[in-house]
Structure 1
Amino acid sequence: MAHASPRRRALRRTASAVGVVALIALGATPAGAADPDTGLVMGKIGPIDGVKPGSELDLPGSFTNAGTAALDKVWMAWSISFGLGYSHPTPSNCSTYSDGGADEAPQSNFLICEFDQTVNPGVVYAPEGLKLMIDDSALNDELFARVSKSPIEMPEGGGIPGTGPAIKLVERPDGTPAAPGSTEPATAQTKVTAKSTADFQVTGAHLKGKVGDTVPLKVKYANAGPGWVAGEPYESVTNVHIKMPAGTTVTGTHSCREEGQGAYVCGTDSSFTRPNTEHTYTFNLKINKAVPGAKGSVALENKPRPFDPVKSNDTADILLDVEGAGTTGGSGSTSGSGGSGTSGSGSTSGSGGSGSAASGSSGSTSGSASTSGSGTSATGGSSATGTSGSSATGGDLAETGSGSTLPLAGAAAGAVLLGAGGVLLARRRAAQQR
């Protein structure tokens, strides 16, 4: 097991603290505590599959008052992961809030609505007029919903009141009401799967020098989108395997794990990747001797990526021309492309912008990432890593493996709305095992 960097340890503490603060602020009930919303039962929300990016649908969420008395007022709240948004304008009896995100999850967006109307027992109700937006970056997302007898408060200083026409709850005679006295939860969740992809790709390099020289090597990993991808908490969203050309020695790198015999494994600096973002891995490479035809390689880890149908750019060459040893020819481009692998730095900046309609501003990405099958490059795009400075460090999560494509933003949102019990407990256990 590779050691954890100081920043990774700080990340764990910060993420847990954020989850607890948000949980308290939004009034969610931790697991094991008395449930003040007994009698309110959320209807189950089935999976939402195959939605088209750029489309919209009714925001899911219905409930039953399973008690014996009518209620004068109820509150409903939703949280959605990065690839989703809410319709605009926000109704005047609702507020939105964005949590800003963390290193292991991008920004999540919340909607809280107050319904000042009678809610009778045994009747299924749902809000009328709320829409869920499927953003261009949507891929594997999640939605959480909650109903409450008590106000669900926004964090202090958070929450933007709506300015649009107020909405109401309407009866749903086609819905199946919860049984009287039911103790089923006042929460529900579902996955939202978009009909989209995310293209992970790597770029190599073409180096030149003479024996005794130390030359800089920069290779890149990029998500060319259009979808965002999340991995397991506190783990790299993917790993990149780098093999150095024969006759060379690495004299300097950062946060990449040496595997021996000139092989290295490099990760990413967060557990998710937005579209049109990249990471640059930098090494100092000393040329010890001339080896004709010396060639290294860059490759994405050999793990299933069902969201990524383009395999031709999963590997690239590191070519080395040593003076007096002939030439290797060609270029260090992504396999199947004609682009150069030596351009730019992988610096990223920005402030954790969201791809959803209810989010704040988007950041920017500098540098370029070669795309498959062409000599073009993907630049810019709406992105933010949640950190500033160059990503040429190889990532502070570089020593971890990657996980499945789980929507971490949805998981963080769920901790806020559903109670911290399961999510935070799992994170504590994961942290203790590292």
Structure 2
Amino acid sequence: MALGAVPALAAEAEPDLGVGTIAPIKGVQAGSAFSTPLTFLNKGTEEVPAVWVTYAVSPGLKAEETYKNCSYYTIPSYDEMPESNVAACRVEQPLKPGVLYGTAKPVSLKALDSAFRDNLRVGIGVNEPDTGDGGSSDPVQGTGDPLTLVEKGPADDADRKNHPESAASADVTAANTADFALTGAELKGEVGDKVTATVKFANKGPARVQGALDESVTTVDIRIPEGTSVVKPHDFCEVITKTHYRCGTSQSWVDVDGGESYPFVLRIDKAVGRTVGAISFSGQERPFDRNAANDTAQIVIDTGKGSDTSGS
């Protein structure tokens, strides 16, 4: 080693902290409160003087009770991730190694009227949580008693296996329905005209619906009326045949009163009178949608003289 050189210091290792596996929470009633116990384990060999405990919920849920050592904020949706309501709590108490801890009482949450397929995510660490690239709303400090942890006893091998990582998540399922609805278009033109038919998909609620991540929450099949051809389809729509398009959604979820619009520029090629193209849902099953009356719609175009026809 050269004279005067200072040996490099090894980076301090993060404490080995774990969050207990959280069982799926089912049968929650929209508009009501529910609670869940949380447990934590210091799997290292040194005492940890203080920790940050975070719990985040999807948009159909929120904190029912707030703690004065927690700040509450919302991280807006970004990329493929939905909006998240977060509580970040500074717990100023030591966690002894090999001791199982739990919240002094179960954490209380509220299922909103829009609750349906939601989730809870819990984390523990020694650093203040980062809100990420998307930023967050201004934090609001809680007002209730502080969130505290209590010793539950020495941890055994089963406890260690049940606290594998510093974060855990659970699905939260509420009893609710959502009305997916389709709206078509009625147009008029002559041979050679270009007309724009806008098909609309809407979620009329009351539930917000989260589908499988990275997949369209539903798909819409659009049949092109006979006597017309597609000049420009919507970007979310793929060609099945020249008279059949299938349209997806911009995200894997749809909010209440949210949805998509699919404008199609069509050219009238032949006068065939009143011509009709069918619109219907496809894709993921929708057992939550109990109103079948608006599950189909039509594009109707009056092309001038001729016999009435329907697209296939």
Structures share a fold, TM > 0.5? Answer: yes
Q: For residues 290 and 235 of structure 1, do their structure 2 counterparts lie closer, same or farther at Cα, with a shift above 3 Å needed?
A: same
Higher normalized helix content (fraction of residues):
1
Match of 1:36 among 14, 36, 39: 14
Give yes or no for the alignment of 1:94 onto 2:70. yes
Match of 1:245 among 211, 216, 225: 225
Describe the superposition over 1:391-434 as per-residue Cα deviations: whole angstroms up to 9, x where unpaired. Answer: xxxxxxxxxxxxxxxxxxxxxxxxxxxxxxxxxxxxxxxxxxxx
**Match of 1:231?**
211
With structure 1 as the length reference, what TM-score do the two structures score?
A: 0.59
**Match of 2:268?**
287
Match of 2:31 among 32, 50, 54: 54
Equivalent residues of 1:62, 1:127 under 8 A apart: no
Distance 1:310 1:115 in 2: 48
Q: For residues 250 and 188 of structure 1, do their structure 2 counterparts lie closer, same or farther at Cα, with a shift above 3 Å needed?
A: closer
Q: For residues 263 and 185 of structure 1, do their structure 2 counterparts lie closer, same or farther at Cα, with a shift above 3 Å needed?
A: closer
Secondary structure of the corresponding residue to residue 312 of structure 1: helix
Distance 1:203 1:161 in 2: 41
Match of 1:189 among 165, 169, 173: 169
Q: CA shift at 1:92, angstroms?
A: 2.5
Q: How does 1:22-421 map onto structure 2 within 5 Å?
A: 36-38=14-16, 40-65=17-42, 71-87=48-64, 90-120=66-96, 122-128=99-105, 130-148=107-125, 150-155=126-131, 160-171=139-150, 178-179=155-156, 182=160, 184-255=164-235, 256-325=237-306
Identity %: 35
Distance 2:170 2:267 in 1: 52
- The structure with more radius of gyration: 2
Q: CA shift at 1:144, angstroms?
A: 1.4
- Consecutive unaligned residues in structure 2, runs of 5 or more: 1-11
Q: For residues 168 and 326 of structure 1, do their structure 2 counterparts lie closer, same or farther at Cα, with a shift above 3 Å needed?
A: closer
Q: For residues 37 and 118 of structure 1, do their structure 2 counterparts lie closer, same or farther at Cα, with a shift above 3 Å needed?
A: closer
Q: For residues 206 and 169 of structure 1, do their structure 2 counterparts lie closer, same or farther at Cα, with a shift above 3 Å needed?
A: same
Q: For residues 306 and 244 of structure 1, do their structure 2 counterparts lie closer, same or farther at Cα, with a shift above 3 Å needed?
A: same
Q: CA shift at 1:134, angstroms?
A: 0.9
Q: For residues 172 and 313 of structure 1, do their structure 2 counterparts lie closer, same or farther at Cα, with a shift above 3 Å needed?
A: farther
Distance 2:168 2:214 in 1: 26
Equivalent residues of 1:253, 1:284 under 8 A apart: yes
Q: CA shift at 1:296, angstroms?
A: 0.8
Q: For residues 187 and 75 of structure 1, do their structure 2 counterparts lie closer, same or farther at Cα, with a shift above 3 Å needed?
A: same
Distance 1:35 1:137 in 2: 42
Equivalent residues of 1:105, 1:272 under 8 A apart: no
Describe the superposition over 1:24-53 as per-residue Cα deviations: whole angstroms up to 9, x where unpaired. Answer: xxxxxxxxxx97332x44332211101011
Q: CA shift at 1:146, angstroms?
A: 2.0
Higher normalized strand content (fraction of residues):
2
Distance 1:321 1:258 in 2: 24
How many residues align? The count is 292
Q: CA shift at 1:194, angstroms?
A: 0.7
Alignment RMSD: 3.2
Q: CA shift at 1:61, angstroms?
A: 1.4
User: Aligned partner of 1:80: which letter?
Assistant: V
Secondary structure of the corresponding residue to residue 299 of structure 1: strand
